[in-house]
C-alpha cells in the first residue's frame, strides 16, 4: 500500500511521537468507552504502534477488563482517545471504532465470520503482539480477575505455579520450534485496534493556538478552526 497518502494528522502524530520520544509518558494516552449504563469510562493505555501502512493504532489489554465488556456490549464499539504531548504542547482527540483480537475472537473468526479474516485478525498478528511484551507484562495476564475482591491467598506462589505450567508448555514445544516468547498466548490477552474516524488536533504553542478538525467522511480534509 505504498501509494497510500497519510492524512495530515497521522503525519503530525508521527512527528509528535518523534519529538517527545525521550519522555516515556508520551506513549500513554487516555481512552474513553461508554459503559452499558451509558456512562463515560476513561483510562490510561499504552500506545503500541500503528498497523503498518494504515491509520489504525494498537494497544493491548486483558479480555476480563471492563473496557472490553463495554465494547463487547455495543455495536459499533466506540472510543475516544485523548493524547497530550507535554514536550510539544499538542493534544490529539481521536474518535472511532474498536476491533478486538484474542484467542477467543480468532476462534469466532475461523467459524461464523471467516470471510472477515485479514492479516490483523490472524494468529500470527496476535502472536507478534504477545511476543512484543516483556515477560513482566505477559505475567499480568496470569493475575486473578481484575476488580474481583483482593485475596491474599492467591499470591505469588499461585502465579508462579501457572508460570511454571506455561514454561513447561514452552519447553515441550521448543523442539517443534513453535513458541518464540516466554509463555504461550494467554487467553486473557487481547489486542485492541483503534480505527480513527475523526481527529481534533490542538497546538497550544503560539498565539492564536492552532486547532484542526478532520474526519474520514471528508477524506481527512483539514478544517482550521478557532481553538
Q: Which stretch binds ligand FMN (CB under 6 A): 44-52, 124-132, 171-179, 196-204?
A: 44-52
Min separation Cβ 115 and ligand FMN, Å: 29
Residue 41 binds ligand FMN, judged by CB under 6 A: yes
Cβ proximity to ligand FMN, 192 vs 199, nearer residue: 192
The answer to the question of residue 44 lying near ligand FMN (CB under 6 A) is yes
Give the torsion through C-alpha atoms of 39, 83, 133, 186, to 10 deg. Answer: 10
Q: In the complex with ligand FMN, which residue's Cβ is closer, 146 or 159?
A: 146
* 103-110 and 123-132 helices, crossing angle to 10°: 170
Toward ligand FMN, which CB reaches closer, 120 or 189?
Answer: 189
Is 138 a binding residue for ligand FMN by CB under 6 A? The answer is no
Segment 57-86, which members bind ligand FMN (CB under 6 A)? 59-62, 65-67
Does position 163 bind ligand FMN by CB under 6 A? Answer: no
Nearest distance in Å: CB 156, ligand FMN: 21
> Residue 129 has which C-alpha cell?
503482539
User: Is residue 28 within the footprint of ligand FMN (CB under 6 A)?
Assistant: yes
CB atoms within 10 A of CB 129: 21
- CB of 80 vs ligand FMN, minimal distance in Å: 14
Q: How far is the CB of 33 from ligand FMN (least distance, A)?
A: 7
Write down the least CB distance from residue 69 to ligand FMN, Å: 8
Determine, following the binding rule CB under 6 A, whether residue 102 of this chain makes contact with ligand FMN: no
Contact residues for ligand FMN, defined by CB under 6 A: 28, 41, 43-46, 59-62, 65-67, 146
Amino acid at each position: 500500500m505504498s501509494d497510500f497518502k497519510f492524512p495530515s494528522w497521522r503525519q503530525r502524530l508521527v512527528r509528535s511521537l518523534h519529538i517527545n520520544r525521550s519522555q516515556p509518558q508520551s506513549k500513554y494516552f487516555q481512552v474513553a468507552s461508554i459503559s452499558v449504563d451509558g456512562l463515560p469510562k476513561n483510562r490510561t493505555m499504552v500506545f503500541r504502534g500503528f498497523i503498518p501502512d494504515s491509520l489504525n493504532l494498537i494497544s493491548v489489554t486483558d479480555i476480563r477488563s471492563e473496557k472490553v465488556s463495554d465494547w463487547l456490549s455495543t455495536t459499533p464499539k466506540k472510543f475516544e482517545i485523548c493524547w497530550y504531548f507535554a514536550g510539544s504542547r499538542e493534544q490529539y482527540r481521536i474518535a472511532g471504532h474498536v476491533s478486538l483480537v484474542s484467542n477467543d475472537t480468532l476462534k469466532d473468526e475461523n467459524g461464523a465470520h471467516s470471510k472477515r479474516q485479514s492479516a490483523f485478525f490472524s494468529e500470527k498478528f496476535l502472536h507478534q503482539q504477545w511476543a512484543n511484551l516483556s515477560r513482566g507484562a505477559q505475567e499480568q495476564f496470569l493475575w486473578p480477575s481484575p476488580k474481583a475482591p483482593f485475596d491474599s491467598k492467591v499470591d505469588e506462589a499461585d502465579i508462579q505455579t501457572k508460570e511454571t505450567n506455561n514454561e513447561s508448555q514452552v519447553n515441550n514445544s521448543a523442539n517443534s520450534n513453535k513458541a518464540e516468547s516466554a509463555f504461550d498466548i494467554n487467553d486473557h490477552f487481547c489486542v485492541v485496534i483503534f480505527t480513527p474516524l475523526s481527529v481534533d488536533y490542538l497546538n497550544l504553542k503560539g498565539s492564536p493556538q492552532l486547532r484542526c478538525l478532520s474526519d474520514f467522511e471528508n477524506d481527512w480534509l483539514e478544517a482550521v478552526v478557532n481553538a
